[in-house]
Amino acid sequence: MNWISARWKKLRDKKYREEFVAAQAKRAIPFQIRALMRKKGISQQQLAERSGLTQGVISRAANPTYGRLTLNTILRVAAGFDMAFIGIFVPFGKLESFFDRMSEEQLGNVLTFSEEDAIRTRLSEEDQPTATDIQQAAKLNTGNATRMEKLPTKVKKDSVRPTKIETGNLFDVPGGAYGR
């Protein structure tokens, strides 16, 4: 892995770093609002109604060159989409990896609470998750269906208890995983 990318070299310049953060905050959020509206099939007027804002405010919020979005507006838009918004301080490496993967498709690939809730409910009720469930669970965990490292470990109930207990098996430990 190349730890010092071309972008990282640019980030060694303090002024570049500051502008890089500003570009992310001021441009990526409007692009994401646009991508989400397109993906969910919501018009500016509909989002305005759901957010308790005017269509003009939504128009500015979705304009990458506007540049003066307030946190209150962002939070109202998040409520309108029924999605979470995380505005936290992070190291530059996080921001760099975000930019490396940034695409409008990815930006628009966010579940609303009700979509997420439906998946969680189905997963909790089903014995054996389907391939689609696993993909959706990956989305729940990472916001990106291509990353699969945090999958749920739910398995079919029949397979929980082995018929023959072997020495050293997890299930053989008193008070082990299933508290025999």
Partner 1 sequence: MEPWTFRQYVSDWGEWPFRDWYNEQETRVRVLFDFYKDLLRNRENWLMPEIKEFRLFDGPHAPLGEIRYRADDEDRHGRMVKRRRIRPIGFLRETEHDFILFVGCEEIRNGQYIPSDAPDKALRLFREFQLGKGTLYELD
Residues of this chain that bind partner 1 (CB under 8 A): 6-7, 10, 13, 15-16, 19-20, 22-24, 27, 31, 65, 67-68, 99-106
Minimum distance from residue 118 beta carbon to partner 1 (Å): 28
Considering the complex, state which of residue 23 and residue 78 has its C-beta at the smaller distance from partner 1.
Answer: 23
Q: CA angle 125-131-133, nearest 5°?
A: 40
Minimum distance from residue 60 beta carbon to partner 1 (Å): 13
Considering the complex, state which of residue 10 and residue 150 has its C-beta at the smaller distance from partner 1.
Answer: 10
Considering the complex, state which of residue 17 and residue 120 has its C-beta at the smaller distance from partner 1.
Answer: 17
Measured CA to CA, the distance from residue 50 to residue 113 in angstroms comes to 14
Q: How many CB atoms lie within 10 A of CB 24?
A: 14
Minimum distance from residue 95 beta carbon to partner 1 (Å): 11
Q: Do the beta carbons of residue 111 and residue 139 sit within 8 Å?
A: yes
Considering the complex, state which of residue 17 and residue 122 has its C-beta at the smaller distance from partner 1.
Answer: 17
Q: Do the beta carbons of residue 33 and residue 77 sit within 8 Å?
A: yes
- Tell me the chain's radius of gyration from C-alpha atoms: 22
Considering the complex, state which of residue 67 and residue 176 has its C-beta at the smaller distance from partner 1.
Answer: 67
CB within 8 Å of 180: residues ≥ 6 apart = 171, 174
Minimum distance from residue 123 beta carbon to partner 1 (Å): 29
At which residue do the structure tokens 């291509």 appear? 146
- Any idea how long the chain is? 180
Minimum distance from residue 124 beta carbon to partner 1 (Å): 34
